[in-house]
Amino acid sequence: MNNIEKLKSLATRYCNLNLSDYCVAVFGAGNTSALYKKCFDYETITEHITCFIDNGVSKQGTNFLDKKVVSLASFLSQPSKQPKLVLISSANINFCNSIKQQLSGQVDFLTIDEYVFSKRINEILVVLDMLEDDFSKRVYAEMIIARMTNQSFAEDIYTKDQYFCLPPFLDRNPNEIFVDLGAYVGDSIEQYIQCKSGVFSKIFAFEPDARNMDALLCRMERICKEWAIAKDRIVCEKAGVGRRSENLSISNSNADSPSLGARIADTFDTNAQHVQIYAMDDYFANQKVGFIKADIENFELDMLIDAKKTILRDSPILAISIYHNALDMWKIVLWLSELLPNYAFKIRQHSHLLLDTVLYAYPK
């Protein structure tokens, strides 16, 4: 069975599933569900969620995404006229399998990715058909399959040098302006400068988290000295990017590594760390860009929508993360392909986990 046949076979299991027929709960009141909020809304899952289930005792009894968080036992004991269904929300294979064992024999269940990708199999097949090379087609199909089956994928689809693995992204252009969205602590910028041998015009780095920004500034000071780069050629903005210019809050549900898990919240919280959000078309209205890299925790599509004028004006090369939720895995690719019919689209996988899937787009 080839990958296309396998995808179609997997999709037939749940493509006709109607959430209205069930009392639905989502298992996982953490970072994955927070990242999936836009997917929940877009796929009309939100309206069917009665509660979130979480094993964390401290979370039980609280609210998460405007729903109550309960224990599994509490959900199972709730009276309902409909059969109960649990949607598992986790990007961790081991954690997801552990939840499946916990649920087995007690209630019907499937993962969020199984549900969404089954419903969106036609869009996924369109993406598969439009990708530029056979390796991209294999990577994309195997990552969708891995996310639907919650299994590891073949090691040989892994690619090194994230954001800089394809020839168009390695060209040295003294006039190129690199925009790093989600600059973190400057690791991608340092790799960019090394790949380009210091040949570029200017760098704009956007990072909303304060601790990450401190580390980013420290790293840029060292890099400027080591590469004899004038400091004004690297602009660091403690800010995020989105669909419009506004002020929002930073949210974090990664207790082990708070800076790594920092993301922009959908609403303004007076008690949280605040950050300026820029629309790309506003910020770069009078500045041409040549290379946009984005890993911005589920804000990639929002950013692209309000970078439309900039992208059409400048035809930059694009390296866009599409792994943050199931929606992005197909919608970002199709949105960009409609906007940029003369671009080539390739996909590479840069982690042995279900993370770091990147869409590369560049003029043919």
Domain of 313: which CATH number? Answer: 3.40.50.150
Shared domain check, 178 and 91: no
pLDDT of residue 271: 60
pLDDT of residue 258: 46
pTM, 2 dp: 0.93
Count the residues in the chain: 364
Shared domain check, 310 and 167: yes
Shared domain check, 205 and 83: no
Helix (H, G, I), strand (E, B) or coil at 123: helix
pLDDT of residue 257: 47
Shared domain check, 194 and 274: yes
In-domain check, residue 54: yes
**Residue 44: which domain range?**
3-121
DSSP of 21-51, one letter per residue? GSEEEEE--SHHHHHTHHHHHHTT-GGGEEE
In-domain check, residue 258: yes
In-domain check, residue 181: yes
Pairing of strands 49-53, 63-64: unpaired
pLDDT of residue 208: 93
Shared domain check, 62 and 192: no
pLDDT of residue 91: 87
pLDDT of residue 352: 93
Shared domain check, 226 and 85: no
Angstrom CA distances, 277 to 31, 38, 163, 341, stand at 21, 18, 23, 29
DSSP of 201-266, one letter per residue? SEEEEE---HHHHHHHHHHHHHHHHHTT--GGGEEEESEEEESS-EEEEEE---SSSTTTT-EE-S
DSSP 8-class letter at 284: T
Shared domain check, 98 and 40: yes
Shared domain check, 32 and 84: yes
Secondary structure element (H or E) that encloses residue 270, with its range: none
d(C-alpha 21, C-alpha 48), whole Å: 10
In-domain check, residue 140: no
Shared domain check, 202 and 76: no
Domains in the chain, number: 2
Positions in the chain whose pLDDT score sits under 50: 253-260
In-domain check, residue 283: yes
Domain of 71: which CATH number? Answer: 3.40.50.20
